[in-house]
Amino acid sequence: MSCQGPVCTNLGLKPGQRLTVKGVIAPNAKSFVMNLGKDPTNLGLHFNPRFDAHGDVNVIVCNSKKMEEWGAEQRESVFPFQKGAPIEISFSVNPSDVTVHLPGHQFSFPNRHGLAVFDYFDTHGDFTLRSINWE
């Protein structure tokens, strides 16, 4: 069981801006999620590092959602996360994609729905949010 974490609305993140999330991964973490988008049913980026969940081990699964319809999953094999450790993750919004900045690695996920503004962020799962800021 995981409880819902913080939810941010009216972020107003536009291309050229970056959202930085800091927190701590649970010692017994299975997975956690960060969502960026317009609202809970329209997500430009569903970011889901999985230590051991849904048949995946040490994989980052990304996806998008439009009106509750999920898109095709994109998997990243780089996995710079450690259970019980602090982590800083940044999301840079670009006109055509979102760049995810991880320790020592980055990758891009396409802005499939052409969102001009990312207003919504939430996080849940085995992760404790310490701070969030955007510039």
pLDDT digits (tens, 9 = 90+) for 55-107: 999 999 999 999 989 999 999 989 999 999 999 999 999 989 999 999 999 99
Give the SS3 label for residue 86: strand
- CA 70/CA 62 separation, integer angstroms: 11
- CA 99/CA 64 separation, integer angstroms: 14
Phi, psi for residue 15 in degrees, rounded to 5: -50, 135
**Which CATH fold topology does 4-134 show?**
Jelly Rolls (2.60.120)
Taking residues 3-31, report their average pLDDT: 89
Hey, where are the domains in the chain?
4-134
Decide: 28 and 127 in contact? Cβ < 8 Å.
Answer: no
Largest Cα–Cα distance of the chain, in whole Å?
37
pLDDT bracket for residue 5 (50, 70, 90):
low
